[in-house]
Amino acid sequence: MLNVTLLGTGGGMPMPNRFLSSVVMNFKGRKILLDCGEGTQVSMRVNGTGFKSIDIICISHLHGDHIYGLPGLLSTIGNSGRVEEIYIIGPKGIKEVIDGFLITLPYLPYKLNILEDVSDLEFMVKKEKMELVELNEKISSDLSIKTLELDHSSPCLGYSFNIRRGRKFNVEKALMNKVPKEVWSKLQRNEEVSLNRVKYYSYMVLGDERKGIKLSYTTDTRPTEDIPGFIKESDLYICEGTYGSEEDMHKAIKNKHMTFKEAADLAKKGQVKKLLLTHFSPAINDPKEYIHNAREVFENSHAGSDGEERILNFKE
């Protein structure tokens, strides 16, 4: 199960009813934060999401409406008693920005591990704790993070999160392959086992692959030809919808953002299950007034709101 909460759905400047861009994902009690606009930690308190257990922070780009909440949040996390390191993933320049923030935060009790300029890469997250490692490391992992370079006025990353689902133990298969019962538990954990000079592998006792959960996030970008493949078959696609009407297309092109309809077109091409729009222009008072523009293209389109929660479950 993956719990997703929209902490801020505004773009440009905070509004009385909308904080700036931020999403928190809760997976097995550990958290990943996507962007950290102004008001993020206030929204976290209002929605009771907590902040001490944030292990990974993914920043899309370095515009203020996506990062100005970060120094305050890092300070609050430090005051909460956290000592474990936090990973921050971001585009080129993120380290310089964080170093600037740290001038006002000289005594953080935890380490920041900053991964910069990581477009078009994939990371694995260790199962026993949220620690990013290179793909060539042999680890037990049920979560991977992919990045994609987007088309904005500054270097910008999209993120895709894949949660793998463990295969079921197949007793009949284990017996057919004459696997000793004393090694079943290790093989179920994908460990390779040698017993009496015979090697046993997990495929000898496990069933077929089962569908996991996929969430994708792209904000502050024009549509690109790579996005549909990147978000393909996502259970939830969180995408910017800065402009609700096609009448503002000239603004979208000039400022390198998207309209509701353009986001819906990407969702349709990517064959996603559900589109959740965010990053609304301050000029949009009620995004739901424009949602019909998206639904003309992709029916399962929704305008997000601050505090909105979505729960993604594994399908049988």
220 annotated to bind ligand: yes
> Does 250 count as an annotated binding residue?
no
Catalytic, out of 65, 235, 265, 306 = 65
Q: Which helix (H) or strand (E) holds 175?
A: helix 171-176
- Nearest alpha carbon to residue 177 among 156, 157, 205, 145: 205
Cα distance between residue 63 and residue 76, in whole Å = 22
Q: Where are the beta strands (DSSP E) in 117-185?
A: 122-126, 132-133, 141-149, 157-165
The whole-angstrom separation of Cα 101 and Cα 98 is: 5
Closest residue by Cα to residue 76 from 99, 48, 42, 123? 42
Q: How many CA atoms lie within 13 A of 264 on its CB side?
A: 21
Q: Is 66 annotated as a binding residue?
A: yes
257 marked as part of a ligand binding site: no
**Is 302 annotated as belonging to a binding site?**
no
- Here the tokens at position 306 are 């601050």
130/44 Cα distance (integer angstroms)? 20
d(CA 58, CA 132): 12
Residue 279 annotated in ligand binding: yes
What is the per-residue burial (b if ≥16 Cβ within 10 Å, else e) of 186-210?
Answer: ebbebeebeeeeeebebebbbeeee
Q: Is 235 a catalytic residue?
A: no
State the binding site for Zn(2+): 61, 63, 65-66, 152, 220, 279
Q: Which residues are catalytic?
A: 65
Summarize the annotated binding site as residue ranges: 61, 63, 65-66, 152, 220, 279
